[in-house]
Homo-oligomer: A and B are copies of this chain.
Amino acid sequence: MLVRTAKGTKDIRSLWMEKGVVKAIDQRLLPNQFKIVSIRTVKEMADAISDMTIRGAPSIGAAGAYGMALAWQRKQDLTKASVTLVKTRPTAHDLSYAVNLMLERCDEDLVREADAYADRIVNMCKRIGENGAKLIKNGSRILTHCNAGALATVDFGTALAPIRVAHRDGKDVFVYVDETRPRLQGAKLTAWELLNEGIDHAIISDNAAGHYMKDSVDLVIVGADRIAKNGDFANKIGTYTKAVLAKENWVPFYVAAPISTFDPSTGTGKGIVIEERSEDEVLCVGDFRVAPKGSRALNPCFDVTPAKYVTGFVTEKGILKPNDISSFAKSP
């Protein structure tokens, strides 16, 4: 992804391995501060996933693979490392997929294997971008939720990949960026990526999505954290709402995700565990408490959108219908 700093423009990934150390953009500090952190142990990697230094399903997958590479490098117990890593984000299918893949390949050089895993993600994202860009016309106004960009996917993005490709192809696009409470990944991260890339956009409160869906939005593209066998999928809280609004207003609703996000071992959305995060994410904004002392909050991190709302899944293999998924998906 392009990153414009005072020192100029760089093209980097959201995480990579360099001389035995994992380097990652600290996504918690964006957009106010751009900082690369160093991760040296499984514990540090588990913390970086838990505290959302690294976030986004495919980036978390790569983080899991690199976490296993760190354990392998130190000749630690790989099964123990895999358990530590997987339990940090139970909803993220990519994480268990990547960690288990490294466990299967434990006789190989896991640093090389993890690099290859990250490369595969980036290549998949590029193909998702190329396939999805066909849906975007010159002048298209696109709504996206949360951050399914390069930060979330090592590079390039899933939901943002088609937008990136369309823009690089010279199409005039405009993006409505849901701010995405409670953690504001849209306002903080997606806007930052679009700004770096020079793509026209405006941030909106999540509440305003319905208003613009009525007559301004041509297309919705979101990412996914886990897609069940029947096409129901889990993604950032609020995704279901956008899907319902899109259906009500006849706006096409696409889910951009690599095939590895499909989980044929989960039959339907009912089988997806919804992670609850700290209520302070809702009660406070940053360190400032906005709610009265004594009030509590409920903070589900994801919601499940039934397959019937999905116009298509934009994957590296093309644009699939929910019914097409089973034939492509492999068990982890």
Contacts and interface: CB of A to CB of B under 8 A. Distances in A.
Given A285-B286, A297-B204, A291 B188 contact: yes
A52 to B, nearest CB: 15
A88 interface: no
B295 A203 contact: yes
A194 B294 CA distance: 10
Given A184-B290, A191-B291, A205-B237, A244 B283 contact: no
A239 to B, nearest CB: 8
Given A208-B303, A248-B244, A203 B282 contact: yes
A300 B188 contact: no
A202 B298 contact: yes
B283 A203 contact: yes
A292 B182 CA distance: 17
B241 A209 contact: yes
Contacts of A283: 187, 203
Given A181-B207, A188-B292, 13 more contacts: A31-B292, A179-B282, A179-B291, A181-B206, A187-B282, A187-B283, A187-B290, A191-B295, A203-B295, A208-B238, A210-B238, A210-B240, A214-B240
Task: Give me the 4 closest cross-chain CB pairs, A-B, nearest first.
Answer: A207-B238, A31-B292, A210-B241, A191-B295
Interface of A: 30-32, 176-177, 179-182, 184, 187-188, 191-192, 194-195, 201-212, 214, 236-238, 240-241, 244-245, 247-248, 274, 282-283, 285-286, 288-300, 303
